[in-house]
Chain A
């Protein structure tokens, strides 16, 4: 059965800290790993990772995929209160149909 596991499920840090969120996956015919940020409403897209070992960066956020070990990490440096959200990762198959989401990591950044 396909599944995605995230850890930790919850994390509380102070502004300026660096955090690493983990995502491991088992998805049949795996194609890509996606990261989303969810604040109060709908998830918004952060990264899509398809190739192993290639870091994707956007400002203070970066992510990398290890297809051999079946995991991905999302790093956030110099955290800000606006980073407080639930971070979701999802594995998607080769046909672009089967999206399997993890339970999310709830990040709280305190001032």
Chain B
């Protein structure tokens, strides 16, 4: 049981390049999320997916696209990277329909992205 996995762990891009961050969870969770974390700003939600086949914008969606490929996988794409997208990106999942610890989010290890 790996929990939430993310690839890659580190990435350096040049301005204008594109890339996809991959995320997968093996906990059979319905909901998945992408956050970015910048110093002093906590976690900011980029996009989330309540269930397979649905995606919604979060607080900071500009410059990103997402795909909920299936229940396990949720990818984040930067079509044309900009230096302002230098950040640490976290994927998370939760199963808010459950009782008890519903709404707890489980986080992946993060991807440190630098855009030059």
| Chain A interface residues toward B at CB < 8 A | 4, 9, 31-32, 34, 41-45, 48, 88, 90, 92, 95-104
List chain B residues, Cβ under 8 A from A102: 42
A103 to B102, CA, bound (A): 23
Are A42 and B90 within 8 A (Cβ)? yes
Q: Can you name 19 A-B residue pairings with CB atoms under 8 Å?
A: A9-B40, A32-B103, A34-B103, A42-B90, A42-B108, A42-B110, A43-B107, A44-B107, A48-B104, A90-B43, A92-B103, A95-B50, A96-B31, A96-B97, A96-B103, A97-B50, A99-B105, A101-B44, A104-B42
Q: Are A97 and B107 in contact (CB under 8 A)?
A: no
A99 touches B96 (CB 8 A): no
Q: How far is the CA of A48 from the CA of B94 in the complex (A)?
A: 13
In angstroms, Cα B99 to Cα A32, docked, is 13
Which residue on A lies nearest to B100, using beta carbons? A48
Residues from chain B with a CB closer than 8 A to the CB of A92 are 103
Contacts of B97 in A (CB 8 A): 96
Question: B104: which of A45, A95, A104 is its contact (CB, 8 Å)?
Answer: A45
A45 touches B40 (CB 8 A): no
The reply to whether A41 and B103 contact each other, CB–CB distance below 8 Å, is no
Nearest 3 Cβ contacts at the A-B interface: A96-B96, A42-B107, A101-B43
Give 10 new A-B contacts, CB below 8 A, not counting A96-B103, A100-B45. Answer: A34-B104, A34-B105, A41-B109, A42-B107, A45-B101, A45-B105, A92-B103, A97-B50, A97-B56, A101-B42
Contacts of B40 in A (CB 8 A): 9, 103
